[in-house]
Amino acid sequence: MPRREGLSWRFTHAITRTPADSVANGLRAVDAGDPSGAAFRAEHAAYVQALEAAGLTVDVLPPLEAYPDSCFVEDPAFCLPDGAILLRPGAESRKGEAEEIRAALESRFDRVVEIPGSGHVDGGDVLTLDDEILIGLSARTDREGAEAFAGLLDQWGYNARVAETPEGVLHFKTACSTLGEGVILATKVMIDSGFFGSRRTIAVPDGEDYAANVIRVNDVVLVPEGYPETQAAIEAGGFRTVTVPTHQARKVDGGLSCLSLRFSKA
Ligand code: CIR
């Protein structure tokens, strides 16, 4: 696909969903204690403010108690300037989340379609770059889903490439992020995997792997609070950073990218 400068980081809008109290029952690989709904909502408000300060109009959807992980809106859908795609999350308890976010997408996009077939894709496994879209196979995203999604992206004029997410990593983007301008922040394991070819990468310093999930939003990179070495490495790379608390999200394996769908509308 032709390089679309800024596709991965220039945005005008975001959709988020307020965490429900049921987030205490959210999925997690390792139990480090339940997140508190109230504390999560306070962190979420700071997150929304950071997106607004970066220039976005943010739609904040109401909490859904029936879906403990529903504040992680990145997983059931995918947005491009041309339209939105409803995905099929791979975790049983999250399957209904795509239908729940449909109306919010239809209010912002003329084109909202469903991923074809019956395979699974979580948005957390999709890394949009300015010249290609990477889809990571994981415990949530299977080959059938990834190939159906790649085919749809191809029809829309985008190149997608399917890659293997390293063992033990929840989502592809748990371990890497685009900083824009051709630069990728990633854990050493991801860099060593060779997915990124000759692209410029910044390695996440040892002991700070959680901070591999950051989001570039217009002129700033939002970084989770408490990862000073990663923040310094990003700044040394020439990017301005703003920290946002994600302590509650982290308890259920969530990070900055999972908490919003970001897109650009003319
Ligand atoms: C889950 O396991 O589905 C949630 N507890 C966390 C989802 C995080 N989403 C993401 O990385 N895109």
Can you give the pLDDT at residue 43?
98
Per the rule left: phi > 0, alpha: psi between -120 and 50, beta: everything else, 158 is beta
In three-state secondary structure terms, 209 is: helix
Q: Does the pLDDT value for residue 233 go beyond 90?
A: yes
Extended beta strands in the chain, E state: 13-17, 57-61, 77-80, 83-86, 112-114, 126-128, 133-137, 160-164, 176-180, 183-186, 200-203, 215-217, 220-224, 240-244, 261-263
Give the catalytic positions in this structure: 171, 258
Q: Which residues line ligand 1 (CB under 6 A)?
A: 26-28, 69, 72, 74-75, 91, 94, 124, 170-171, 174, 252-255, 257-258
Nearest CA to ligand 1 atom 2: 27
Provide the 8-state DSSP code for 130.
S
Q: How confident is the model at residue 263 (pLDDT cuts 50, 70, 90)?
A: very high
pLDDT band at 60 (very low <50, low <70, confident <90, very high): very high
Identify the residue whose C-alpha is closest to ligand 1 atom 12. 124
Distance, CA 2 to ligand 1 centroid (Å)? Answer: 31
How far is Cα 116 from Cα 105, in angstroms, rounded to an integer? 18
The pair of structure tokens assigned to 115 is 């991923």
The per-residue pLDDT for 119 is: 98
pLDDT at position 1, please? 84
Probe residue for ligand 1, chosen from 23, 64, 127, 252 as the CB with the greatest number of ligand atoms within 8 Å: 252
Over residues 156-193, the pLDDT tens digits come to: 999 999 999 988 899 999 999 999 999 999 999 999 99
Ligand 1 atom with the smallest distance to the CA of 89 is 3
**pLDDT score of 180:** 95
pTM above 0.85, yes or no: yes
The pLDDT > 90 percentage for the chain reads 94
Alpha carbons 123 and 136: distance in angstroms, whole number: 10
* 140 has binding-site annotation: yes
Pocket test for ligand 1, best of 165, 176, 258 (most atoms within 8 A of CB): 258
pLDDT the model gives residue 168: 85
pLDDT of residue 265: 87
Average pLDDT, the chain: 97
- How far is the C-alpha of 67 from the C-alpha of 70, rounded, in Å? 5
Residue ranges of domains in the chain, CATH in brackets: 13-165+245-263 (3.75.10.10)
Q: pLDDT band at 2, cuts 50/70/90?
A: confident
